[in-house]
Amino acid sequence: MWTQSTLRLPAKPRGFHLITDAVCEAAEGLADVKVGWMNLFIQHTSASLTINENADPTVRVDFETAANHLVPEDLPYRHALEGPDDMPAHVKGSLMGFSLTIPIARGRLQLGTWQGIYLCEHRDRGGSRNLVITIHGEVERD
């Protein structure tokens, strides 16, 4: 079985946002997969995806702090037409990554107990974001 769906996330402020529930709700056919995988791909270059701790909200703040330390806005970037947060957002996106592959078993993502899927919004005002959700797997049979 193959399915593919698109999830349009509303605009979010700069930072790291848990989107696990929204992804699972939008993933066509997820509940029917006995064993397989889901690939998530974000169709933008100034936002990214990652998996990390989903319980303590201070983790999201610390991620933003660390990302800004690693990729400061005050470097002499040449690509600056869209504002001072644009080129750093592209660098952060490439460092964090634009896709994830997650195993599926018995209709559920096989994330660890404390893992969640994050939208990493690297722009001050990035706008809505599109995710392509592709599922491949063996379907449960009655």
**Distance between CA 113 and CA 54 in Å, rounded?**
9
Sheet with 129-139, strands from edge to edge, namely 2-9, 129-139, 33-42, 99-105, 108-109
Domain with 59, as residue range(s), is 2-139
Q: What is the pLDDT of residues 106-126, one digit of tens each?
A: 999 999 999 999 999 999 999
Give the model's pLDDT for residue 73.
95
CATH assignment at residue 35:
2.60.120.460
| pTM assigned to the model | 0.95
Give the model's pLDDT for residue 140.
74
Q: What is the pLDDT of residues 77-100, one digit of tens each?
A: 999 889 999 999 999 999 999 999
Q: Domains in the chain: how many in total?
A: 1
Q: What is the pLDDT of residues 10-22, one digit of tens each?
A: 999 999 999 999 9
End-to-end CA distance of the chain: 15
Q: What is the pLDDT of residues 36-89, one digit of tens each?
A: 999 999 999 999 999 999 999 999 999 999 999 999 999 999 998 899 999 999
